Chains A and B, each alone.
Chain A
């Protein structure tokens, strides 16, 4: 009987200590004050989803006026923590209506059009045909302004007669970057390293300079996402008497950041 009493006292004490502890413990919300961006809800309420996607269920709503911490952002979703230390995901549309401590709105980028000053970089992968063979291209673009962009590209050409690697530096000019389907012209130069393929006598590898001009179009499909296709005409400045000409078309996707 005494042991039972002892145990009961112990558990009661332990439980009360635990309760007291949880009541006194500083909130994670307070401990991280200053570490994250803090905003207050200005919409009637802010919906918290269980995951970063439209299909994830709403498990909590935060009323107007309550403060939240923005932990980080993934695509268009923000991982946030409320004053009761509960964490969840809020959509960008909801977050747009939150206020900073200064009273201003949380500055988020405009989705209706690309801001070339804030998001100047573009990374893309394309595939297509180069002089009868296959070509894979990875490119990085940097917008000098709305119309003009510099591009650095690495390509691998995989043909029947030869393989090659090209390194290109070019400029693209888009007369109407505000169009959803924006055409552009391009001009550039670089080097190509050609590795001939032959079964009996293989000619030696060669590195040549080349230049191109071309035209193409970018289709701003959805948020940050572009489909792109272009056609180029290359001139390879060979060490032989005659220059070589190759045509290339390719298509792929890109995103900007």
Chain B
């Protein structure tokens, strides 16, 4: 422990020294070229007489960005051996460019009884609290087929078919389990702000509850609404 504290203090010192030494140096670098720039933009020839006109300060306009997407979804979660049950979740996405987006999902479902528990009538494998399944995914998405859909004669909506892949964790049966999630979905933009989603995902994690350690495939479907902001 003694050496631990020493190593820690050394790291803090090192970090602080490097932070202090670099910051002001950089700020000076940025500020230096500014005066030269303002005098040279007035004309191609060097200014002999300094004009006495006070430059009007122009405020740079702010254009509203709308790259984030947030919203709830409901669907079904088929936990392997534990039945198909309703799932509720929240989605947060950030659109990096027109092709790629990053997505974070949090969802929860209550799983049912395994067929073994139902048929044998033996003691339950899990307590009610252990049956609650909560997961999160951090995923990366690609808009594979962007397009438009035409409903009726005069209406067109933007849409995209996308694929996602990510990692996360599933809390189920008293343990956190590393999860791989692969999915595909369809996004329909109802207007500039509102989008409807249909998703299918396979959540893969290892579970050793029923004797041997096996990778379980848990298929999830969802219907969601998101708001862009």
B64 contacts chain A at the CB level, 8 A cutoff: yes
Residue numbers in A under 8 Å from B147 (CB-CB): 55
Residue numbers in B under 8 Å from A145 (CB-CB): 22-23, 26-27
Taking a contact as CB atoms under 8 Å apart, the answer to whether A243 and B148 are in contact is no
Count residues of A near B (Cβ-Cβ below 8 Å): 58
CB contact between A237 and one of B4, B18, B23 (< 8 Å): that residue:
B4
Q: What is the distance, in angstroms, from A229's C-beta to the closest C-beta of chain B?
A: 14
CB contact between A53 and one of B60, B100, B146 (< 8 Å): that residue:
B146
Taking a contact as CB atoms under 8 Å apart, the answer to whether B146 and A56 are in contact is yes
Chain A residue with minimal CB distance to B160? A53
Taking a contact as CB atoms under 8 Å apart, the answer to whether B8 and A138 are in contact is no
- The answer to whether A148 and B18 touch (CB under 8 A), given A72-B65, A73-B64, is yes
Taking a contact as CB atoms under 8 Å apart, the answer to whether B15 and A75 are in contact is no
B96 contacts chain A at the CB level, 8 A cutoff: yes
Residue numbers in B under 8 Å from A255 (CB-CB): 94, 96, 102
- Chain A binding site: helix, strand, loop or mixed by DSSP? strand
B30 contacts chain A at the CB level, 8 A cutoff: yes
A209 contacts chain B at the CB level, 8 A cutoff: yes
0/1 string, B70-114, CB within 8 A of A gives 1:
000000000000000000000000111110101010000000000
* Chain B interface extent, by class: 35 or more
How many pairs of A and B residues are in contact by the CB < 8 Å rule? Answer: 139
B123 contacts chain A at the CB level, 8 A cutoff: no
CB contact between B18 and one of A51, A71, A173 (< 8 Å): that residue:
A173
A153 contacts chain B at the CB level, 8 A cutoff: no
CB contact between A74 and one of B3, B67, B138 (< 8 Å): that residue:
B67
0/1 string, A184-226, CB within 8 A of B gives 1:
0001110000000100000000000101010000000011110
Residue numbers in B under 8 Å from A79 (CB-CB): 192
A30 contacts chain B at the CB level, 8 A cutoff: no
Taking a contact as CB atoms under 8 Å apart, the answer to whether B96 and A224 are in contact is yes
- The answer to whether A243 and B61 touch (CB under 8 A), given A52-B158, A144-B19, A255-B96, is no
28 contacts between A and B (CB under 8 A): A54-B98, A71-B192, A72-B63, A73-B66, A74-B65, A77-B98, A78-B63, A102-B58, A125-B102, A125-B104, A136-B167, A136-B178, A145-B22, A156-B176, A158-B176, A158-B178, A163-B175, A189-B8, A189-B11, A209-B4, A211-B7, A211-B11, A222-B97, A223-B96, A225-B100, A237-B8, A238-B4, A253-B140
Known: A52-B98, A53-B98, A156-B176. 4 other contacts (CB 8 A): A55-B147, A75-B67, A173-B18, A235-B7
